């Protein structure tokens, strides 16, 4: 058997689940996991279906089984106004990571990939600093040092896109990459670039956010993983993680707790995206965990 994931969205109406299930059953598909959500605010329907198909080939008589499913879904699309994608779960997404000097998120992702927790292949790391090259070398992963200034930003981002194409990366992760991407690069990576940043209640912007948080005596700190858009740190949220803190913890302790929340939120977001569990819903996401 081969295993596949179907994700779809369309205007909400009766009969969608029956139509999709029937299309899969008509191609000998066996559903092993199914989740759906109808958004009452937008009247839009979202669905993720994981299913198996008989092995293709003359011996099984299945022929091009995924191709048959695609034909069936294409036949449904006009009537239901479907937007859909079909994925083979045996194909591991290829990921390119952007970093600066902080290595905690990169180190966490490298460990989780090596231990089989993420289901991805990290194909290369790109940084505007050389500091983290030794870390990637221990994992046998290519490291590209691309310095950037305001004057060279356009050329540097062109090189990043060239590397995305060269490595055939399916998506990009900003693992504490401390540069603001231009609107042009955000547009080219729409829906396939994930960022992590600290988030507080209340929010502190600018430099030394943990020192600001300590000065205000915050009780909760956290991190947000989201898709990258042209609106800085305001893209659709995939995951958030928080931790309780108290008056006894200084800025250094808050930073340590914050690093942990960043690693956790980013790892979950990367895994869920790699497993095709995240569907865009305007400025929000639907996450089928």
Written as one string, the DSSP assignment of 178-235 is: -SPPPHHHHHHTTTSEEEEEEEESS---SS-HHHHHHHHT-SEEEEEEEE--SSTT-S
Q: Find the catalytic residue in 12, 39, 233, 260.
A: 233
Is residue 233 flagged as an active site residue?
yes
Residues sharing a CB contact under 8 Å with residue 14, sequence separation 6 or more, in sequence order? none
3-state percent breakdown (helix, strand, coil) of the chain, nearest 5 = 35, 30, 35
Look-up of token digits 């989780």: 112
DSSP category for residue 54: P
CA dist., res. 213 & res. 232, Å (int): 20
Give yes or no for a contact between 163 and 96, defined as CB atoms under 8 angstroms apart. yes
The catalytic site residues sit at: 233
């Amino acid at each position: 058997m081969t295993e596949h994931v179907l994700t779809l969205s369309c205007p909400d109406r009766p009969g969608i689940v029956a139509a999709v299930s029937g299309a899969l059953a008509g191609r000998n598909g066996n559903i092993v996991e199914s989740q759906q959500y109808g958004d009452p605010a937008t009247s839009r329907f979202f669905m993720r279906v994981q299913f198996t198909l008989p092995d293709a080939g003359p011996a099984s008589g299945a022929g091009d089984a995924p191709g048959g499913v695609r034909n069936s879904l294409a036949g449904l699309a006009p009537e239901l106004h479907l937007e859909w994608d079909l994925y083979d779960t045996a194909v591991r997404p290829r990921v390119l990571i952007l970093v600066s000097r902080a290595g905690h998120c990169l180190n966490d992702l490298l460990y989780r990939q090596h231990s089989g927790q993420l289901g991805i292949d990290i194909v290369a790391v790109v940084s505007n600093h050389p500091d983290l090259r030794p870390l990637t070398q221990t994992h046998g992963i290519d490291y590209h040092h691309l310095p950037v200034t305001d004057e060279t930003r356009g050329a540097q981002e062109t090189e990043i896109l060239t590397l995305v194409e060269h490595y055939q990366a399916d998506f990009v992760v900003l693992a504490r990459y401390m540069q603001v991407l231009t609107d042009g690069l955000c547009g080219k990576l729409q829906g396939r670039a994930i960022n992590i940043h600290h988030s507080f209640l209340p929010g502190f912007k600018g430099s030394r956010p943990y020192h600001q948080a300590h000065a205000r005596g915050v009780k909760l700190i956290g991190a947000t993983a989201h898709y990258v858009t042209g609106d800085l740190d305001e893209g659709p949220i995939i995951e958030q993680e928080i931790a309780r803190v108290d008056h006894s913890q200084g800025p250094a302790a808050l930073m340590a707790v914050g690093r942990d929340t960043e690693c956790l939120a980013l790892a979950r977001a990367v895994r869920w995206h790699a497993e095709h569990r995240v569907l865009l819903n305007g400025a929000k996401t639907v996450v089928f965990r």
